Chains A and B, each alone.
Chain A
């Protein structure tokens, strides 16, 4: 029993390691897509966030400042995307693809300039804090140790809840975004703009402004997602660090039918499968490459069996052109 609990603890620990970056990015993607702007550029915004986080973290030593700067860097690229898609009515897929190229190019380029030609930054001195570090050990020591293994260092609770602050922020943000979407006036406008911009416009909603805010927010969140890799999971930026996670986040959003809570389930599914990979992979009985396929195969199977057709916001991908 204890052994099982411990294994589960390790799986969940890994889950909570893999999930937050995806979750930040997925929430970002959700904001943008809900307002009717496809954001393929999430991947690039994550990349620039990951790099900015690592670079600012290294030079300033302050992980929170780095985290914030990463979000802002993502936002800058999101605003370029917004300018192209909203003001210039550009094709959103094309613009997003361009952002991906541009962001990964600029990240590595600046990295080479700042770190003497290397494509990898130096490790950040301070990672984001683990909020409950030592809490469970303290409980164990001060409550007579009769609560069993679960409270020990690297026991179940320590493994599960003693994760980096970014994980907690990500899950709290799910609630916040859900609240904004479904319980506030701005959320109602946002959804209206994504479903039927003409109707929203007639009622006096500033379609462009709402979309700009949403796209900027999506870049900010994607930037945080990137930084939660370089400031928590690992402590350096290298070009291969984000690869594909932005697209996985987009996949999670489609999987979750463009709802923040659904996207969260998608991200957790991914994170959990990655966690399983760590445990099953260490046993060595199944080739690691086969195990690595699990998250992707499971997603497709889940999509076919349970999710069905996604409801895409009706105006998603269509620039809004005001009629005269």
Chain B
């Protein structure tokens, strides 16, 4: 028991005194948070910039422009520029679309109103940037809705089925709310995976473990102290990141802190165990780092840290769904964003526990004191 306490304190001292490691293990996640947080919150998400040129200048064309104005949340249209300038901006990528109401639009509409059915319909030209498929889709959608509305009103069409949108419990979540739980998950992964692998491999190489092995110290005591010290460190680091997120970026915390802590603990244990496996497999301390990096780097991008898992290619989905980081980031996110309880998160919890148990079993076979 005394040995357990002394080893835990010693490990915490090593963490605390290794300023460089301490700084970078904390700086790295905070840096990611700040960088991605600002980058994605300011780029305006789905706003589309474009030019609007009215060559017709009739009552009908002005009605169309007025209808477009209702979509101003999405479409930011500039009517002051000439056609050439607007098209040039589209080619440069400054505009995502250009809408041109051609001459004769008003007349065609009038003709269509008077002689039902047979007259050619009025047209509006929409130029868009094919390289930005997602934004172009949104833009065309918005314009179609406007056009659709005009058509229906002219044709005196009365809809048989309508939609009544009813938003429930709008949480008004921002990207930073998505990001912070992901960053915490990433931090837990990289600290434990890389940290344990590098440290144990280096202690083994330097004979530290052999020296301890020559004393009556039990390996279970040694490992228990390692786990305790790392849990304290990770808990503190997660808390710092959450507090920075909360105070600097105003991220939300809608769930239970106890459940969040529970997932931080299970996540730490699972990734520590994987770190022990890598330490066992690595022949030298120099190779432990790259092996850990090779594993953690893809996990960071696949496992829902920065991007939603749903946006990954479908053939990767089964693989991603088996990754421990995916379950950790999903669980942390669900707790923080929508306040999910254990009843919703039992599958994530179960998967992480499974990872933890299997990894510890494998680690106990691959682990070498020397």
Task: State whether these chains interact.
Answer: no
Which residues of A approach B to under 8 Å, CB–CB?
none
